[in-house]
Amino acid sequence: MTRKFIYSKDSYQKLRLNDITVKKVNKTTKGVVKADSLMVSEIARYPAFYTQFIFNEFEKSVKIKTVLNNTEGVSLISKCQKIIKYKKQA
């Protein structure tokens, strides 16, 4: 999953105050693993604390999984009425 974005002047200045590595035009690439009806994003952040997005095609739901010091929590973010599948781009 690739996300391309360009910050507005105000957003860029705000984010730049906290993190000098922020660029005005940026692109992020995240890995997504598909197993059966679940699509799970790669782990973001540190081993002691991380988050993952879990997309379920059968339930048509989006959940977020958070782990803090080996304590897991899964919260429902959205229940979808319809799922649109796009062709993979090269």
Neighbours of 16 (CB within 10 A): 14
Residue 29 pLDDT: 66
Whether the per-residue pLDDT at 30 is higher than 70: the answer is no
Tokens standing for 2? 């690739």
Q: What is the pLDDT of residue 50?
A: 80
Q: Tell me how far apart the alpha carbons of residues 12 and 71 are, in angstroms, rounded to a whole number.
A: 35
Give the model confidence (pLDDT) of 51-88 as tens digits.
888 888 888 898 988 888 888 899 998 898 887 777 77
pTM equals 0.53
Q: How far apart are CA 40 and CA 33, in angstroms?
A: 5
> Structure tokens of 1?
């999953």
Domain ranges of the chain: 1-29, 31-81
- Give 12-26 pLDDT, tens digit per residue: 888 788 777 777 887
